[in-house]
Amino acid sequence: MSVKYVASSKLPTPWGTFTMVGFEDETSGKEHVALVFGEVAGDSPVLARVHSECLTGDALFSLRCDCGFQLQEALKRISENGSGVLLYLRQEGRGIGLLNKIRAYHLQDGGADTVEANEQLGFAADMRDYSMCLPMLEHLGIKQVRLMTNNPRKVKALEQYGVAVAERVPLQVGKNRHNEQYLATKMGKLGHMMTEHHFREEE
């Protein structure tokens, strides 16, 4: 995969002003973004979030998942930490795309869980690709990350692509009555590491 730096600008947010760095994945044509806070270049591990696009959760206030809450919490923690990076990857719906995710949600409305819905549509449970992460981090001069995630498979996948993950930092926010079952399936079928006491109730 070839990932090319395109442009950067300031991005003021409620948690402070980040630098937004835009990349183009020349193979897929996808446009990925890194939000950088403070000084990140160097040898020490950088607080990081690798966030996969979820239009419904990140932008449309959906309570079906925990994505939007994780996005906000990650930006807040990075700003409180004084430095860090969030990679916003354009792989909606664990890589199946927005319209297929709506199809999957429809099947979930009828009783399927998040994994069964994907399988009924002919997709694997998780089709994401993390190959763009190393070139994006290298461009920013980041050598190691402290990764905010509950997903050990994400840690493994990143390491397979050569990203040095110094530590996994739990990121458990956003549980509510609409996504309890979804989070339980992620724990049971997708191997996510979550413990009740880490959650903060949103509703």
Ligand X SMILES: Nc1nc2c(ncn2[C@@H]2O[C@H](COP(=O)(O)OP(=O)(O)OP(=O)(O)O)[C@@H](O)[C@H]2O)c(=O)[nH]1
Please identify every residue annotated as catalytic: 126, 128
**Interaction between residue 173 and Zn ion (CB under 5 A):** no
Q: Using CB under 6 A, count the residues that bind ligand X.
A: 22
Q: What are phi and psi of 71, to 5 degrees?
A: -60, -50
**Interaction between residue 114 and ligand X (CB under 6 A):** yes
Enumerate the known binding-site residues for Zn(2+). Answer: 54, 65, 67
- CB-based contact 78:84 (threshold 8 Å): yes
Q: Which of residues 6-65 bind ligand X (CB under 6 A)?
A: 52-54, 65
Q: How far is the CB of 152 from ligand X (least distance, A)?
A: 9
Q: Which single residue is written with the structure tokens 């990679």? A: 87
**Interaction between residue 67 and Zn ion (CB under 5 A):** yes
The 3-state secondary structure of 144-176, one letter per residue: EEEEECCCHHHHHHHHHCCCEEEEEECCCCCEC
Q: How far apart are CA 200 and CA 203, in angstroms?
A: 9
Which residue, 74 or 137, is less far from Zn ion as judged by CB?
A: 74
Which residue, 36 or 86, is less far from Zn ion as judged by CB?
A: 86
**151: partner contacted, choices Zn ion, ligand X, none (Cβ within 5-8 A by kind):** ligand X
Q: How far apart are CA 120 and CA 192, in angstroms?
A: 22
Q: How far apart are CA 67 and CA 61, in angstroms?
A: 10
Residues that bind ligand X (CB under 6 A): 52-54, 65, 67, 70, 91-94, 96, 101, 104, 114, 118, 149-151, 154, 171, 186, 192
The site for Zn ion (CB under 5 A) is made up of 54, 57, 65, 67
